[in-house]
């Protein structure tokens, strides 16, 4: 009996669309990561980029539980001395709701070059409109 190794050229990736309306951030992110990594496929390998492409719409209407909107802080650095900045989740949701989901998913991906490749397969949009209609994405119900 031989072990079958999957070749990247033989893979066919699907396009999925997820409506984030009234979904909890953490549970939505884990489902997105599950499909980005390809864990829904029989041929899953942790060292290959075999995941599917995910489109998330209505990113501005996700549900945040508890007092996280006010209490959760996001930190970033400008690169200059004394350039540490912080913002709350509420401010980030008003300014850039796509970034909230992107950071949540990126924190669950591997911290290496494969994780950076996989994160490029995630497309997030604020409203219902998206430019990927020609890919004919399948709707995922979460």
CATH code of residue 124: 3.90.1180.10
Q: Classify residue 69: in a domain, yes or no.
A: no
Query: Residue 53 in 3-state DSSP?
Result: strand
**Domain tally, the chain:** 1
Judge whether 94 and 114 are in contact, CB under 8 Å: no
The model carries a pTM of: 0.93
Task: Give a yes or no: residue 52 inside a domain.
Answer: yes
CA atoms 10, 109, 96, 18: torsion sign: positive
Residue 78 lies in a domain: no
Mean pLDDT computed over 60-83:
97
What would the pLDDT profile of 33-70 be if each residue is shown by its tens digit?
999 999 999 889 899 999 999 999 999 999 999 999 99
Is 18 contained in some domain?
yes
Parent domain of 47: 14-64+98-140
Dist CA 86 CA 131 (whole Å): 32
Task: Report the chain's C-alpha Rg in angstroms.
Answer: 17
Q: Which of 114, 142, 26 is nearest to 54 (CA)?
A: 142
Judged against a pLDDT cut of 90, whether residue 4 lies above it is answered with no
Q: Do the domain assignments include residue 47?
A: yes
Report yes or no on 3 lying in a domain: no
Q: What is the pLDDT of residue 101?
A: 98
């Amino acid at each position: 009996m031989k072990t079958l190794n999957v070749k990247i050229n033989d893979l066919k990736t699907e396009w999925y669309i997820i409506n984030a309306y009234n979904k909890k951030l953490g549970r939505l992110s884990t489902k997105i990561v599950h499909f980005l990594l390809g864990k829904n496929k029989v041929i899953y390998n942790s060292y290959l980029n075999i995941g599917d492409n995910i489109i998330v719409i209505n990113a501005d209407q996700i549900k945040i539980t508890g007092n996280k909107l006010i209490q959760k802080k996001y930190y970033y650095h400008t690169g200059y001395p004394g350039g540490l900045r912080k913002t709350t989740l509420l401010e980030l949701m008003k300014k850039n709701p796509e970034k909230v989901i992107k950071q949540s998913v990126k924190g669950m991906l591997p911290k290496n070059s494969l994780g950076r490749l996989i994160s490029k397969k995630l497309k997030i949009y604020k409203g219902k409109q998206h430019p990927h209609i020609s890919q004919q994405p399948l709707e995922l119900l979460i």
